Structure 1
Amino acid sequence: MTEPARLEVQNLTRAFDGRRVVDDVSFRVEAGQVACLLGPSGCGKSTTLRIVAGVDMQDRGRILVDGRVVCDGANRLPPEARSIGLMFQDFALFPHLPVSENVAFGLKGGFRANRARVTDLLERVHMLRHLDSYPHELSGGEQQRVALARALAPRPGVLLMDEPFSGLDERLRDGIRDETLALLKDEGTAVLLVTHEPVEAMRMADLILLMRSGRIVQQGAPYNLYNAPVDRQAAAFFSDINVLQGRVQGALTDTPFGQFLTPGMPDGCEVDIVIRPQHLRIDFDRAGQGPAPTPENGQAALARVVRARYLGRESLVEFATEHSGIALNATVPGVFLPPAGTPMWLMLRRDRCFVFPRG
């Protein structure tokens, strides 16, 4: 018999004014796993989180924690009885309580009865020296660490995190994310994290739940979502993309890079061939001069530089193809700033292209 998930959501649906903002959402989060609800603003991810937390009510569907139904429309446990911890983007620390009492707030007996648990957590988030400090005396990063310790103090089976790093200085985020992830894994807590930032989801999640218009359009490991997107929009959510448009004839589609195999697509079907900028290759040696390069399959396309910009770790070069004027972007590690108008041969990594019906 399969072990129950730490958190399981089944067919969750919620509508406001006749519009479904959460539409038949289902997923599982195992103990020790970090799952991320990812999507643009208004896609339904925060509403899903609030329903799981118990501060909003679904119209249909069930929520289970360790196999126990905590809400199914007919029966509903209050938030404090669900073994679910909450951590919000504003941290919501009590300004009149010192750090020690903030962390102990949800524990029976307060700080005196739970000194060992509180001091252990504060030590693990590097905040023990601030035991007697008040929230207004702490930086944003320090408040975030205290909020994390407070959320974990009662040992919840599930921790819900709503954009917890959005208020932090960008320079602090990576370090605090890594520290947070290490502590969550240490505790074995199942985590449901809401974010609209793909980089954050890729960095923290074991499981990404990509949402759009109230539905989960794709779920899986970060590697799978990035390398096998379900559609053009999913590909574009994780990075910039180049799009070649064409029409299928005999399972082939003509492009400036030669014909692409598009099996399974009916004749006359319009398709988008998608490639990320880092997989568009430049022939630096020829720089548009001499005969076209001969890639392993397909062909090279002649293009001219429109603009080149240095972004720090890499350079972004914007091109227009010579004959059709199609706009293409390529990223190159380090500094590469050819002048506008420079002709260059471009090649595609066909194994890294995605083909989707145009919708």
Structure 2
Amino acid sequence: MPDAPRVQIAGLTRRFGGRAVVDDVSLSIAPGQVTCLLGPSGCGKSTTLRMIAGVDRPDAGEIRLDGRLVCDAARSVPPEDRGVGLMFQDFALFPHMSVADNVAFGLSGSRAEKRARAQALLGRVSLDRHIDAYPHELSGGEQQRVALARAIAPRPRVMLMDEPFSGLDDRLRDEIRDQTLEVLKEEGTAVLLVTHEPQEAMRMADEIALMREGRIVQTGAPYNIYNNPVDREAAGFFSDINVISGEVNGALTQTPFGQFLAPGVPDGTRVDIVIRPQHLRIDFDRAGRGPNPTPQDGTPARAVVERARFIGRESLVEFRLEAGPCLTATVPSVFLPKPGTPMWLAIRRDRCFVFPQAKES
């Protein structure tokens, strides 16, 4: 039998100045599960986190932690009585306290017991040799790991994290993210991580809740949410995209790559066909002949190279179709054809998404 949700929120709503900043949000998190609340800045992620923590009060909805009702329209349990851990970008260690005392801050028991708990946790984040140091003697990454040890020291059953790694450089961020995830998983803690970075969510999450304008528009495992986006905007949030527009006629849309199915879409509807750059297939123009298409490819279309750049592990090649829009392809390793080089492009039909165009408000 699956574990009961450790965090369960239903219909959570918060308004400021008559505007719903968080609008009817519901989600649940099981013990040991990492859920990432992902979305652009200002979409309501941090407000949702603050309401779960108890530092902000919802206008509607309810919050349950381990089945216990901690907030609804009639009551709100104070933050200190909710048993949640908090970890933010500004980890704010106490500068006048040693590393040991920072980690042990808020723990009950004798001084020896608190130091033992601090030493055990610092050992798990490879900082036990700094137990008697002070925060100013540590690097930024080391301070971040002390903050992690302090957050989990009271053994919270729920950890709320708001952009906790955004102040670190990329290489250090990856290392500390992985270490944090390992420690929290071992503790069986339910984690809600707020981030605006899709790669961070994909790397850490068991489940992603994609948020936009105060609402959760899609939830799912990283693989599923990446490969089955709910709309064009969701597809574009996770990666660069190419978009080809067309009009549906008889459940088909005509494009430079041939016809594409648009089942169930009424005739006359404008649609966007979305393809990620890594799914464009390219070939040199050999005597005016295009590449031999596979069964999954659409009809090849002739294009001319506009620009090519090497960006590290791959090359980015921009094309202009003879009849149609500009498209971008990514190619592993170094591939730098000269501007003006004619090529053929084909796209994997099974890798395309077809979405009705959003109506202008």
Structure 2 length-normalised TM? 0.96
Which residue number corresponds to residue 107 of structure 2?
107
CA deviations 1:315-349 (Å, max 9, x no partner) are 0000000123x110000000000000101000001
* Structure-to-structure mapping, 1:261-300, within 5 angstroms: 261-283=261-283, 286-287=284-285, 289-295=287-293, 296=295, 297-300=297-300
Which residue number corresponds to residue 18 of structure 2?
18
* Structure-to-structure mapping, 1:1-359, within 5 angstroms: 3-109=3-109, 111-283=111-283, 286-287=284-285, 289-295=287-293, 296=295, 297-324=297-324, 326-359=325-358
From the superposition, tell whether residues 322 and 45 of structure 1 become closer, same or farther in structure 2 (CA, over 3 Å).
Answer: same
| Runs of 5+ unmatched residues, structure 1 | none
Question: How far has the Cα of 1:110 moved from its partner?
Answer: 6.3
Distance 1:292 1:318 in 2: 18
Aligned-residue identity in percent:
69
CA deviations 1:256-283 (Å, max 9, x no partner) are 0000011100000000000000000112
Distance 2:163 2:111 in 1: 28
Please state whether the residue corresponding to 2:194 is helix, strand or coil.
strand
List structure 1 runs of 4+ shifted beyond 4 angstroms: none
Equivalent AA in structure 2 for residue 293 of structure 1: P
Question: How far has the Cα of 1:97 moved from its partner?
Answer: 0.7
Please state whether the residue corresponding to 1:4 is helix, strand or coil.
coil
Question: How far has the Cα of 1:292 moved from its partner?
Answer: 2.3
From the superposition, tell whether residues 91 and 278 of structure 1 become closer, same or farther in structure 2 (CA, over 3 Å).
Answer: same
CA deviations 1:34-58 (Å, max 9, x no partner) are 0001000000000000000011000
Contact 1:104 1:110 in 2 (8 A): no
Contact 2:308 2:315 in 1 (8 A): yes
From the superposition, tell whether residues 2 and 174 of structure 1 become closer, same or farther in structure 2 (CA, over 3 Å).
Answer: closer
CA deviations 1:201-233 (Å, max 9, x no partner) are 000000101000000000110001100000000
Question: How far has the Cα of 1:294 moved from its partner?
Answer: 3.5
Please state whether the residue corresponding to 1:356 is helix, strand or coil.
strand
Please state whether the residue corresponding to 1:143 is helix, strand or coil.
helix
Contact 1:289 1:344 in 2 (8 A): no
From the superposition, tell whether residues 145 and 110 of structure 1 become closer, same or farther in structure 2 (CA, over 3 Å).
Answer: farther
Contact 2:3 2:31 in 1 (8 A): no
Which deviates the most, 112-121 or 138-147?
112-121
Which deviates the most, 301-310 or 114-123?
114-123
From the superposition, tell whether residues 288 and 21 of structure 1 become closer, same or farther in structure 2 (CA, over 3 Å).
Answer: farther
CA deviations 1:124-182 (Å, max 9, x no partner) are 00110110111111111001100000000000010000100001112211111111111
Please state whether the residue corresponding to 2:64 is helix, strand or coil.
strand
Which deviates the most, 297-306 or 326-335?
297-306
Please state whether the residue corresponding to 2:243 is helix, strand or coil.
strand
Equivalent AA in structure 2 for residue 327 of structure 1: C
Contact 2:244 2:255 in 1 (8 A): yes
